[in-house]
Amino acid sequence: MQTLGKARRVRIYVNEDDKVGAKPLHLAILELLRKENAQGATVVRAVEGFGAGGRIHVSHLVDVAAHLPVIVEWIDTTEQVERLAPRIRELVRHGLITVDDTDVLLYEPHPVRDLAPTATVADAMSREVVTVTPSTPVRQVVELTVGKCYRAVPVVEGGRPIGIITSSDLVQRGGLGVRVDLLRSLETPEIHELLERLSAQGKTAADVMTPDPVTVVSSTPLPGAAATMARRRLKRLPAVNAAGVLVGIVSRLDLLRAAAGGFGRTDPLPREMGLSGDQPLSRVMRRDVATVHPGTPLPEVFQAVVSTRLNRALVVDQDRRVVGLVTDAELLERVTPALREGAIRSLMHRLPFAHPRSDAAGAHASARTAAELMTRSVATATEDTLLSAAIATMLRGSHKVLAVTDAAGKLVGMVDRTDLLHGLLPHD
pLDDT tens per residue across all 428 residues of the chain: 344 567 889 999 988 888 888 888 988 898 888 777 677 788 888 766 555 454 555 544 444 445 678 899 998 878 788 888 888 988 898 889 999 988 777 665 444 344 455 678 998 888 888 999 999 999 999 888 876 767 789 999 999 999 999 988 988 888 887 787 777 777 777 788 888 888 888 899 999 999 999 999 999 988 888 888 888 888 899 999 999 999 999 998 888 877 765 544 444 444 444 445 568 899 989 998 999 999 998 888 888 888 888 888 999 999 999 999 998 887 777 766 666 666 776 676 666 665 544 444 444 456 678 898 888 888 899 999 988 888 888 877 678 899 999 999 999 999 998 888 888 776 55
Q: Do domains 121-272 and 282-424 have the same CATH topology?
A: yes
Would you say how long the chain is, in residues? 428
Give the CATH fold of the 121-272 domain.
CBS-domain (3.10.580)
Predicted TM-score (pTM) of the model is 0.66
Euclidean distance between CA atoms 247 and 218, whole angstroms:
8
The class of domain 5-104 in CATH terms is: alpha beta
Are 56 and 49 in contact, with CB atoms under 8 Å apart?
A: yes
Helix 417-424, helix 387-397: angle, nearest 10? 150
Are 89 and 56 in contact, with CB atoms under 8 Å apart?
A: no
- Looking at residue 290, the DSSP 8-state letter turns out to be -
Q: 282-424 — its CATH code?
A: 3.10.580.10
Euclidean distance between CA atoms 143 and 130, whole angstroms:
12
| Domain parsing of the chain, residue ranges | 5-104, 121-272, 282-424
